[in-house]
Structure 1
């Protein structure tokens, strides 16, 4: 007998116009695809609206999933590189540094434009809001629909188990790295999950530790907490660079304060002063986030970094894996992480990783070169040595979505035998 499972698709539906995913976006799509393909469970997509869940047409949502997968992880023919991306690849192959390839920085004084043509908004405006059907379980893996408790309490009143994934507690534990107000907003989400979720899934033991510490400070009894490391897209499980390039390093992730990129760019200026024409290049792959003024000052105004440091965003996975595979090392100097998917992807690709010595990295990538995120001389020495000779990447057993979902299925999904017969 097929069992219905509600899947909160709110986050994925808000990403239908994006050409590249965040780490949380990848998790949402992986869960949706797993539930769609499962032989014993039927995914019922729902979305949040005015603190209520509304059903989404499953056929239409499946088309959205196919489109997202094609754009985010498709073959090179699915999206050709744009002009800036071609300039970047050419700059990395050039013998001498050329002009830096830098994306347009956001203007903090310019109000954010609202795209009224987004498909999902048109679709939702055009259809009557329908309540979701009865189900045994509700999955929320995107931090959405948790700002108020109404949705989870309503599901609980219907006897539906509520499984929520929390990716980190960084806005609560490190609010100085986040946008003003994000700490209070995320605190409400975590409290909602602690009070009203049947179970909570986290991506690392470190996130579990932070969650339990938060619950203890709030004097709350947490529901069962399950740790399940995230899986990787197949394209990151193997890779070879498509071209020979001058020595360069790669950082992957949103350009925001906790990524410690202002520190990294200060190191890069010193590398240029020490190594001159032999200085390596650096590619920052990710969109601009918040609290990034210091990074922008380096990128736009430092003469030492012109032609050495580049920034691009929204790369398709094929180009991203190619750039990572050819790097001297992938860099992850973050001050704090809950999981750090790019660091795990680098190790899975067999690329050397130089990362900050923080709990998440010690748990997930202990074989990497780990350096204190404030140790400037240590980072300088490691980068100079890796420029002159690419380090060997130690063997690494990468986490997979298969093992992740096997753990979820074993511990969280109700057995089919427990489902009452029709009528």
Structure 2
């Protein structure tokens, strides 16, 4: 028996021109591929438009999905190393301290960014959707894993009225629990989003027990019943599943993630200034890999204006998976100093590749990467000690780690969706 799944591709459609994915983008693409290939599923791509679902041309979406996979995975044969990547690796591995840091140009402040017409490639995605007057797509269940369109109840209410089951993945409740780390207004929007899910979802998937606990606590606070919750740790892409002995080199450290307030990077760069004051040109190098996000001014001030960090701290974005994995394997350690996370995919990826890992002592890290060197996110001396200890130690593999897989994730999802199991382990 074939199950017709209305899969919400709104977020993926908004990413058709993006060079590298966020963690949520990776999840959306993994679900699209899994549903497309599942023998018991007819995937019907849909997107939200004016508080209702409209169909997306399946053939067009299939091509875009394969294009995104090739672009984001970016194997060495498919995506040659760029000049910027060569400069970054050369700066990290140089036997002497470079005179200047390798830093990607940050975007202008939002208030100074003029509104531009969307490229024709982006507009094309909308014209590929059926017009609003078309009847609502019909399916057996609806799956949404990108948070898009859930801040209003109309779509979920319509599906509920038509007897279509609604399965929603919640990545975190950070805008609700820690609004100070998010754009103004994001907290209220996410609160409305989670309320709608609690009221109208048939089932909820969460990426960690911590996220599930936060969801249950929010439901109690709001006086709402919580639908059945399924905990399914996220899987990893192939490039992050293979361990390799690190090559002896000048010690450098890596942080992966959007450059935003909750990642605690201003604190990390303050520590790096202290490391430079203690060690001079022998201070280990650091590279921040990620796009510029919200409230990054303090990080930019450090990167652009601190003479102590020049030649030591670098930043890059849009690295394909193959290049990012190589960078992580050769690092003395991966750093994860976040104040709060719902899952922390880069930390799990680092553990899978047996990269040494220094991480903040927060609930989700204790759940997922308890083997890491865990330090309180505000313990400056503790972080300095951890970094200096690993910088002086010979390059070595971290402990063996039983990484979550997409197979194990989708085995849980199959049960939540009521599909005939085809995944294992």
TM-score range, shorter chain: over 0.9
Q: Which runs of 5+ in 2 are unaligned?
A: none
Matches within 5 A, 1:54-73: 54-73=54-73
- Map of 2:119 onto structure 1: 117
Alpha-carbon shift at residue 385 of structure 1 (Å): 0.6
- Give the alignment of 1:12-411 within 5 angstroms: 12-98=12-98, 99-108=100-109, 109-111=111-113, 113-114=115-116, 116-125=118-127, 128-129=130-131, 130-240=134-244, 245-389=249-393, 390=395, 392-411=397-416
Report the Cα distance in structure 1 between the residues aligned to 2:398 and 2:94, rounded to whole angstroms.
26
Call closer, same or farther: CA 1:20–1:113 in 2, change over 3 Å: farther
- Determine the C-alpha separation between the residues in 1 that align with 2:112 and 2:179: 24
Structure-2 change in CA distance of 1:112 and 1:355 (3 Å): farther
Q: Following the alignment from structure 1 to structure 2, what is the Cα–Cα distance between the partners of residues 355 and 333?
A: 5
Is residue 4–residue 41 contact of structure 1 (8 Å, CA) maintained in 2?
yes
Greater mean alpha carbon deviation, residues 78-87 or residues 13-22 = 78-87
Partner of 1:421: none
Cα deviation for residue 93 of structure 1 reads 2.1
Distance, in Å, in 1 between the alignment partners of 2:218 and 2:45 is 31
- 2:328 and 2:77 mapped to 1: Cα distance? 19
Give the superposed CA RMSD.
1.6
**d(CA) in 2 for partners of 1:329 and 1:415?**
41
Quick one: distance in 1 between partners of 2:331 and 2:230?
Answer: 35
SS of 2:404's partner is: coil
Q: Is the 8 A contact 1:55 1:131 kept in 2?
A: no
Q: Is the 8 A contact 1:267 1:380 kept in 2?
A: yes
Normalising by structure 2, what TM-score? Answer: 0.95
1:121-179 deviation line (CA, Å, top 9, x unaligned): 22323654244532111100000120210101101111100000110000010011111
Whole-angstrom CA distance in 2 between matches of 1:242 and 1:56:
45
Once the 2 structures are TM-superposed, how far is the Cα of residue 118 of structure 1 from its aligned partner?
4.7
Greater alpha carbon shift after TM alignment, 398-407 vs 383-392? 383-392
- Determine helix, strand or coil for the equivalent of 2:172: coil
Measured after TM superposition, the shift of residue 246 of structure 1 is 1.4
Query: Whole-Å Cα distance in 1 between the matches of residues 238 and 273 of structure 2?
Result: 36
Deviations 1:66-121 (A, max 9, x none): 00000001311322233322210111221112120011122214225435225242
Distance (Å, rounded) in 1 between the aligned partners of 2:368 and 2:125:
40
Deviation at 1:324, TM superposition (A): 0.4
Q: Aligned equivalents of 1:126 and 1:161: distance in 2?
A: 26
